[in-house]
Amino acid sequence: MVVRAACALALALLVQTSVAQDAKLPPVDEGATDAVWPRFKARLLDALERRDRQFVLGILDRNIRNTSGTSGIAEFRKLWDPEAADSPLWSQLAGVLFLGSVYVKRDAKTQELCAPYIYYRWPADAPENINGAVIVKETLLKSNPSAAAATVATLSYDLVAVSNWEVADESKESPQKWVKAKAGSKEGFAPEEHVRSPLEYRACFVKAGERWRMTALEVGE
């Protein structure tokens, strides 16, 4: 989880001792109201599952913004290597799309639909120590990194202070990874797939007529 580690450093170098009580970031999915977006999203997710690079490359805007701060399809192909079946593109973009989207005004003429909502709806007044968001309706904060451990708290879309983004399960046989996080006065371990940094990958799309094209796939600030 190199990306998460880098994002955590960029967002907050040190985790403070306290977290604002009841700080939450409920999910948003503004794209669901568009007549075309849900069908397009389903087709794109299917293409990602099938490793259909032709479909994915076909929806890219020619000036797509890339993680490296560069733009263009040629750079996108260099960064993501969509010809490879094990390219991280397939899982990273799918992970972005499974979360809700929001409309973002890019400039005076352009409105993008961007996912996930976390980066774009991150509270401006969130304390510096808050660097993660619970992305599920219910997750159990455990006293130790184990499903069998005692439950410290039940979290629902909470904003949390993460001090370790990748903790191995107590059982060597378990592939489960955990994040060490603090919510309010409660500290413990949550499944890593239930907590996301606002600085992880995000994608933006623009609608032209009845078609959508991807204008960005970025990470970081």
Question: What's the pLDDT tens digit per position in 170-190?
Answer: 999 999 999 999 999 999 999
Looking at domain 132-196, its CATH architecture is Roll (2.30)
| Domain residue spans of the chain | 30-121+199-218, 132-196
Mean pLDDT for 131-144 is 97
Mean pLDDT for 107-118 is 92
Q: 162: alpha, beta or left, given left = phi > 0 and alpha = psi -120 to 50?
A: beta
Confidence of residue 3 (pLDDT cuts 50, 70, 90): low
Determine the pLDDT at residue 15. Answer: 36
Query: Phi, psi (5° rounding) for residue 87?
Result: -60, 140
Confidence of residue 110 (pLDDT cuts 50, 70, 90): confident
What is the tens place of the pLDDT at every residue in 6-43?
554 444 433 333 445 568 999 999 999 999 999 999 99
What is the tens place of the pLDDT at every residue in 154-167?
999 999 999 999 99
Mean pLDDT for 53-62 is 97
- Three-state DSSP at 5 gives helix
Select from 3.10.450, 1.10.3470, 2.30.29, 2.60.40 the CATH code of 30-121+199-218: 3.10.450
Determine the pLDDT at residue 17. Answer: 34
What is the tens place of the pLDDT at every residue in 66-107?
987 899 999 999 999 999 999 999 999 999 999 999 999 988
Determine the pLDDT at residue 220. Answer: 87
Confidence of residue 209 (pLDDT cuts 50, 70, 90): confident
Question: What letter does residue 57 receive in the DSSP assignment?
Answer: H
